[in-house]
Amino acid sequence: MDIRKLKGIGDKTAQLLHKLEIDTVEDLLLFYPRRYDLYTPAVTVSEAEEDMIAAIEGVLSDYAVVRRIRQLTITASAFRDMDGKRVQISWYNMPYLKQQLQKGDRYIFRGKLSKKGNGYLMEQPALYRVEAYAEKLHQMQPVYALTKGLSNNLMIKAVKQALSMHVLEPEYLPASLRSAYGLAEYNFAVENIHFPSDQEAWRLARRRLVFDEFFFFISVLRSFKNQTAEQKNAYVITDHTAAKQLQAHLPYTLTPAQQHVWEEIRRDMAGTKTMNRLIQGDVGCGKTIIAVLALCSVAQQGYQGAFMVPTEVLARQHLGSITELLKQAGLPYHVVLLTGSMTAKEKRDAYEKIASGMADIVIGTHALIQEKAVYRNLALVITDEQHRFGVRQRENLMKKGMEPHVLVMSATPIPRTLAIILYGDLDISIIDTMPANRIPIKNCVVTADYRPRAYAFIEKEVRKGRQAYVICPLVEASEMMDGEDVVTYTQKLQHALPQDISVGMLHGKMRPADKNRIMEEFAAGRIQVLVSTTVVEVGVDVPNATVMMVENAERFGLAALHQLRGRVGRGKEQSYCIFISTNRKKETMERLEILSQSNDGFHIASEDLRLRGPGDLLGIRQSGDMEFHLADIYQDAELMKAASEAASRYEKGELECTELERFRISQKLAERIEKYSAQMNL
């Protein structure tokens, strides 16, 4: 049913919802909340937990004033709680509040309470009249990930309306399976993931929907593997003289782990079946050079190799570094770049070289596998986990008479038992040691009061000619979500650091051209401090960056923090990582200290898996790599294993279900195959 059938949603709102891939009422119901806001009773300042969200009843004691600091507008006032304790309050870029804030008015102020000298401070608090807050008390309010122009209230109203008119979907998982794994009925799960009656209802709803995501994802992967398992090797690669020549000219020796993985790849490419292999290795372990060796072997035998990366900046970096490696080794192979932002003439030139076979190695973004790129004899496609080379692209290439070897590279440190499930369509190689010349990163876990010292340290590194990253969990400030945001933080940092230090901003909502420009400026050193979301996890290699500071580090999983840390430590200078936690709880600090104690991604991933709880109501981490909406490969590891077991039973025909249930599962599976194929192919 078209989303515009809902009351209050016209063409303009429908266009905004389309940006979130919501076009139908059914899409809306599958657009789950990203977290929940728990409205707890108001407390006094003495009862509130420092650096945590609190609701404090108080009376405005000062008139509001507005002042400008460079491009930043600050609205400031103060209130006293019921015990008479004074709290300073401030809002950024919200000058209109001055008219609303009247001295003597009583409000519930809801926000993060921080200590400031001998007093207290609340930044960006939400304001509620006492009676309005009473209506929200004890509710679990869903919070949705929105695009500009949409409000959370609009989404709540739309979802409630959709649930009231939605025809129940027939249950497709057999009762025996639901009973065995403690799974709720599907329609109960959909309703309670949006508006849980209590925390137990939310837990049951989430468990069922996570199981479904894993069950169908694993089933789809196995169907892909069945399609390619017996694919005959059309490009038998046996001569690796060029790869040996390249190795001989490297300024370092491959580690035993790298040598072992290279042997596995050589064996695959010389075998009877087409290679479909994953190289899994920690950030900086040396996966890229293995990819280059494989590309050289393919080029030596007169075939072509394609290397697909997530960003244009990284594609250009690879073009430069690989061209230089080949030149130093005296290898004659021609490397060509192909990206979306190239001019029509540049693309035409690249297409001609690819089609004629003049291009031995092609490096680029997803433009590599678009229709206009016609290869003469493509024998190898190398991608990273952000660009899984999906079954549709394989089919398209096979229609052109090609069945290339596929090599996927992943820097996500996943324990092998989970990797075997998640990458069920690929054979797995692991590089589990680091090159000897890597300087270990120095780490520290600190609280928010360390921030001024961190700024001073960043300035000191910049004065030495180095660069720094600062990571925030949010793009923009939101009364619905707690945490530092990139937009406001960039302005604050521009104010805190000397004016001659260039501070840039990067986040996922920016236009691709703007993101590329910012990353290029940072890579070139024109931006010295980059404030960003986790979008920098992949996409640019800046050896000159020596500082990584992560705000609200408690909001991230350990494995995600380790991935971010991998952005530094890539050059010859000592690098540093500063994890700032606004949660002072002992268990939070101990969890983060694991990062101080180890730079081993696989150890950290195992610890992440061990320490994860049964779900976080205030923010469920999104596993974007795998396109899961709710599931988390660490937090839900046991459920993933159960789903894998159930998928095996279904595949073998051992699952106890009626003909109708089997038909419904097969229908759902067909839908997911279409969906995941599209997600894996850009």
pLDDT in tens, 422-468: 777 778 888 888 777 778 899 999 998 899 999 999 999 999 999 99
Distance, C-alpha 286 to centroid of its chain: 22
Residue 141 has pLDDT above 90, yes or no: no
Q: Which CATH superfamily is domain 235-431 in?
A: P-loop containing nucleotide triphosphate hydrolases (3.40.50.300)
First to last CA, the chain: 27
Q: 149 — alpha (psi -120 to 50), left (phi > 0) or beta? A: left
Per-residue model confidence (pLDDT) at position 129? 93
Confidence of residue 675 (pLDDT cuts 50, 70, 90): low
Place of tokens 């070897």: 405
**Domain residue ranges of the chain, discontinuous segments joined by +:** 1-36+145-167, 40-137, 235-431, 442-598
Confidence of residue 518 (pLDDT cuts 50, 70, 90): very high
Which of 101-115, 199-213, 530-544 is least confident? 530-544
Specify which residues 431 forms β-bridges with: 281
Q: What does the CA dihedral 493, 494, 495, 499 come to, rounded to 10 degrees?
A: 140
Measure Cα distances from 428 to 280, 574, 646 in Å: 7, 33, 22
Task: Give the relative orientation of helices 312-329 and 287-300 as an angle to the nearest 10 degrees.
Answer: 60
Q: Would you say 478 and 58 are in contact if contact means Cβ atoms under 8 Å apart?
A: no
The CB-based long-range contact list for 194-200 (8 Å cut-off, 24+ gap) reads: 194/29, 194/32, 194/33, 194/142, 194/159, 194/163, 195/140, 195/142, 195/159, 195/160, 195/163, 196/36, 196/140, 198/140, 199/140, 199/617
Residue 625 has pLDDT above 80, yes or no: no
The identity of residue 204, as a single letter, is L
User: Which CATH class name applies to 442-598?
Assistant: alpha beta
Per-residue model confidence (pLDDT) at position 614? 44
Could you confirm whether domain 40-137 is CATH 2.40.50.140? Answer: yes
Q: Which pair of structure tokens corresponds to residue 149?
A: 């122009």
* CA–CA distance, 250 with 322 (Å, rounded to integer): 12
- Fold entry, domain 1-36+145-167: DNA polymerase; domain 1 (1.10.150)
Place of tokens 């600050």: 74
Q: Which pair of structure tokens corresponds to residue 30?
A: 């599958």
Most confident of 18-27, 132-141, 353-362, 369-378: 353-362
What's the pTM?
Answer: 0.70
Q: Would you say 646 and 655 are in contact if contact means Cβ atoms under 8 Å apart?
A: yes
User: Which residues, 6 or more positions from 177, have their beta carbon under 8 angstroms from its beta carbon?
Assistant: 183, 646, 655, 656, 657
Residue 167 per-residue DSSP state:
P
Query: If we measure between CA atoms, which residue out of 99, 109, 101 comes closest to residue 130?
Result: 109
Q: Would you say 155 and 144 are in contact if contact means Cβ atoms under 8 Å apart?
A: yes
Pick the more confident residue, 541 or 499: 499
Q: pLDDT, tens digit, for every residue of 39-57?
A: 889 999 999 887 678 899 9
Tell me the mean pLDDT in the region 128-132. Answer: 92
Decide whether 235-431 matches 442-598 in CATH topology: yes
Query: If we measure between CA atoms, which residue out of 673, 678, 601 comes closest to residue 388?
Result: 678
Measure Cα distances from 353 to 373, 453, 457 in Å: 10, 53, 49
